[in-house]
Amino acid sequence: MEQRLRHEAKALLEQGKVDWIIGFEPGSLKFTTTPLITNDKNDADRLVINPFIVNNLANFLTEVKGRVGIVAKGCDSRSIVSLIQDNKVLRESVVILGVPCLGIIDLSKIERLVTKDRNELDDIIREGDKVVIRVDGEKKEFPTTQALFDNCLACEFPTPQEYDILLGEPKPAAPNLAQSRENIEKLEGMSPGERWDFWKNELNRCIRCYACRNVCPACFCQRCFVEETEPQWVLPVPRWQDNLIFQIVRNIHVAGRCTDCGECQRVCPVNIPLRSLAREMYDLVDELFHFKAGMDKDARSLMTHYEEKEAEEFFR
């Protein structure tokens, strides 16, 4: 896949079909990749595809000007489609280089499994349904269900639905919803008061870095509601009340456009389980309106559509 990607990306730039290529290149830390945004065809040889291509590159589409050749995993391609539904991105201005995805390895899970930090590991390889870790001369094996990101475990669409070039064989979906929703199930078992206390406790350590918002492709407002001063909905001060309101409203704002890519939770520097909120909204939207984000580029987005009769149970 990687060779094909480099070849295609180079060709796209050479033939002037795109102005930019957005993909992944090796990062500066072990087992890390980093976004590569380039208009230089010679950079195409730096592109990689591996189990650590974690970022949702669709995030850059609302910022990069011109036509873009973009590497997209299943979830990412749905984010692109969602942006097309929102009229933020024109289909003709992107060339989607689809990557059928086997799931991305969650380094923090690996670190917990072997109780060592990432830089102390020699190698991490995915072999079929197992992840093999070489550390201190030893080999340790774990099933992928213990090593992949939670949202990857729930993935129903690993192969991009919308693409121009598919870089590999389509992968079948094998969602393990139970595993993926473990935290959410735990929360659903609590009483409302307990749940509120849980979120109060979690959001207490939020420092309002806004990484969750900035990494989300669905958040592209030029002026976010948290930055609004007339009226001032929330102060920039990281009080748990304001932090919780920020998260609640952000999730409502991206409802129907969130593809559960899991980035918000991954990037949070203080380990707030944001995906439990995002996934809950994702399931709620599916349950109420039978809508999944980014499936059909010609469909209307969740909030611009309505049926004659729906959701009546919420109104007196």
Partner 1 sequence: MASKKIDKKDIAKLLSLWSQQFAVFTPSQASGVATMAKWDGKDASFLDWYRNTVIPPKANFLPAMEEMFGFQKDREGYHIELLPSNERKQLIFGVRPCDAKALAILDMTFKEAYEDPYYLPKRSSAVLVGLGCTNPYDSCFCTSLGISPAQSTDVDLMLTDIGDEFLIEEVTDKGKELIAKATEVKKASKEEEAKAKEVKEAARQKVTRKIDTEGIGDRLLACFDDEDYWEKIAAKCISCGICTLLCPTCYCFDINDELVRQQGARFRSWDSCAFPLYTKMPMENPRLEKWRRVRQKVCHKFKFYPMNFGVIACTGCGRCIRLCPVNWDITQTLESVPVKV
Partner 2 sequence: MKQESEWEPKLVGFLCKWCSYAGADLAGTSRRKYPANIRIIKVPCSGRIEPLFLLKALRLGFDGVLVSGCHPGECHYQTGNYRARRRIAITKKFLEWVGIEPQRIQASWVSASEGGKFVDIVTEVTTGLKIVGPNQLFSQERDGDGTEATARG
Query: If binding is defined by CB under 8 A, does position 299 make contact with partner 1?
Result: no
Which does residue 78 bind out of partner 1, partner 2, none, counting CB within 5 to 8 angstroms by kind?
none
Query: If binding is defined by CB under 8 A, does position 285 make contact with partner 2?
Result: yes
Sheet with 123-127, strands from edge to edge, namely: 123-127, 130-135, 138-143
Instruction: Take residue 139 and report the two structure tokens written for it.
Output: 């080999």
Which does residue 315 bind out of partner 1, partner 2, none, counting CB within 5 to 8 angstroms by kind?
partner 2
| Shortest CB 13 distance to partner 2, Å | 42
Query: If binding is defined by CB under 8 A, does position 251 make contact with partner 2?
Result: yes
Can you state the angle between helices 240-253 and 192-203, rounded to 10 degrees?
Answer: 110
Percent helix / strand / coil, the chain, rounded to 5: 40, 15, 45
From the list 294, 9, 306, 303, the residue with the least C-alpha distance to 157 is 294
Phi, psi (degrees; rounded to nearest 5) at 300: -85, 150
**Binding mask of the shown chain, residues 168 to 207, with x at each position contacting partner 2 by CB under 8 A:** --------------------x---xxxxxxxx----xx-x
Q: Which is nearer to partner 1, 179 or 271 (CB)?
A: 271
Query: If binding is defined by CB under 8 A, does position 308 make contact with partner 2?
Result: yes
**Binding mask of the shown chain, residues 70 to 109, with x at each position contacting partner 1 by CB under 8 A:** ----------------------------------------
- Residues 7-22 as b or e (16 or more Cβ within 10 Å = b): ebbbebbeeeebebbb
Query: If binding is defined by CB under 8 A, does position 227 make contact with partner 2?
Result: no
Q: Count the alpha carbons within 13 Å of 200 in the hemisphere toward its beta carbon.
A: 7
Which positions lie near partner 2, rule CB under 8 A? Answer: 188, 192-199, 204-205, 207, 225, 233, 238, 241, 244-245, 248-249, 251-253, 255, 277, 280-281, 284-285, 288-289, 302-303, 306, 308-311, 314-316
